[in-house]
Amino acid sequence: MDKIIIEGGKRLSGTIPVSGAKNAALTLLPCALLTDEPLTLRNLPRLADIDGFQHLMNQFGISTMIAGSRPEDFGRVMTLQATRITSSVAPYDLVRKMRASILVLGPMLARMGEATVSLPGGCAIGNRPIDLHLKALEALGAQIELAAGYVRAIAPDGGLPGGRYSFPVVSVGATENALMAAVTARGKSTLHNAAREPEIVDLCKLLVAMGAEIEGIGTSDLVIHGVPRLHGATYMVMPDRIEAGSYACAAAITGGEVTLKGARIEEMEATVQALRDAGVAIEPVAGGLKVASDGKLRPVTLSTAPYPGFATDMQAQLMALVCRAEGSSVLTETIFENRYMHVPELNRMGARIETKGRTAIVHGVEKLTGAEVMATDLRASMSLVIAGLAAEGETQVHRLYHLDRGYERLEEKLALVGAQIERVGSD
């Protein structure tokens, strides 16, 4: 199994291109199920999760074609066409590795009138039930059955009638599934307390480009007027705000100056504010964001929250950053209850972090020291890379399959700006 070796202490300087957003792409790909015409997605990142989702779409009989052999600044281009869907079952062996597979449930139900999906897998970062997905689909008129580890959703004859659902708590995935199910319903659907993440906006924009009628895009109240059919489209995936935030942390912890090409400040305001609070300078420049730090970091106090709050997907990376702050930071995780598995690994590198329930207290230290560490989930793996960039000596990060799920060409991008980093095969 591969590992990454980092020789820390190198100041990052230069330009890093930001890839297409993983979390957006995984939501846009299943939209191909909603039409028999071609859907072309541009700026797709080359990631294990994208490849896995492509295989899942092939399982349904959907043709996929990728243009070009190497991702450049504008990523890969994939054309999907669901002329004829040959299976409405998403099997366990494909779904178990990737939680996003549950996002085929809504569009498959809308297109075929039924869908059977294995209960999903993904990162082990706490309890992430899909009950809100199922309740939202029931509110739109679906009948839901659970048996033998599978969810089966069935629409009445003539398709989903549409309906009204108010999410008791904000759920990104459930909002996405309900949106895709509602766009071809027979009537109007209303979603209250819907998620507002930029990735939700990206999904709405694609659906509108395909002929959907959606009101309230970007707000917590979405009104969807069902249309008889959707058509094909060509669409550019938004830049990855989590990747951009991660590289901003990497630049800051090394006292570096990096331009994040393609990043959009308006989609990552909470991350930008947290970094500014920590003493990092971030300013929009033509075509991206400029991040600069003198290495003198201040402690922060914040809680994760649904958008527009501070993203849970940035918590581990910010924690790594404030390990080097002059003082104690307090981070509270409100989204997932088991998202501090990176803490013992950071402590192995000399960090001083204590956890009390959902709160982590990070006491800044003068230096971090390289060590062998183990990635426990996607964002935790990036936190270890960030710490390794600033640590004295060599850091070895194991279990790279987590990292490969969400960061495209990570070693290449960091090496471009001066990091001493390489991927090698384990003994």
pLDDT tens, residue by residue, 118-137: 887 543 434 447 899 999 99
Torsion over CA: 237, 238, 241, 244 (sign):
positive
pLDDT, residue 233, reads: 98
- 128 in a labelled binding site: yes
Which residue segments constitute the domains of the chain, with CATH numbers given?
2-18+239-425 (3.65.10.10), 22-236 (3.65.10.10)
Lookup: tokens for 202 = 């990206």
pLDDT reported for residue 324: 98
Q: What is the mean pLDDT of the chain?
A: 94
Per the CB < 8 A criterion, the answer to whether 364 and 389 are in contact is no
Q: Does the annotation place 399 within a ligand binding site?
A: no
131 in a known ligand binding site? yes
Nearest to 118 by CA among 107, 130, 128: 130
User: Is 204 part of the annotated catalytic residue set?
Assistant: no
Q: What is the pLDDT of residue 236?
A: 97
Exactly one of 31, 123, 249, 323 is catalytic; name it: 123
CA separation for the pair 216, 157 (Å, rounded): 29
Q: Are 258 and 15 in contact (CB under 8 A)?
A: yes
Q: Which band of pLDDT confidence, cut at 50, 70 and 90, is reported for residue 72?
A: low
Question: Residue 291 is encoded by which pair of tokens?
Answer: 């991040």
188 assigned ligand-binding residue: no
Mean pLDDT, to the nearest integer, of 143-154?
92
pLDDT in tens, 225-256: 999 999 999 999 999 999 999 999 999 999 99
CB 28 within 8 A of CB 180: no
Which pLDDT does position 124 carry in this prediction?
40
% pLDDT > 90, the chain: 85
| pLDDT the model gives residue 169 | 93
Can you give the pLDDT at residue 74? 61
**Which pLDDT tens digit goes with each residue over 276-335?**
999 999 999 999 999 999 999 999 999 999 999 999 999 999 999 999 999 999 999 998
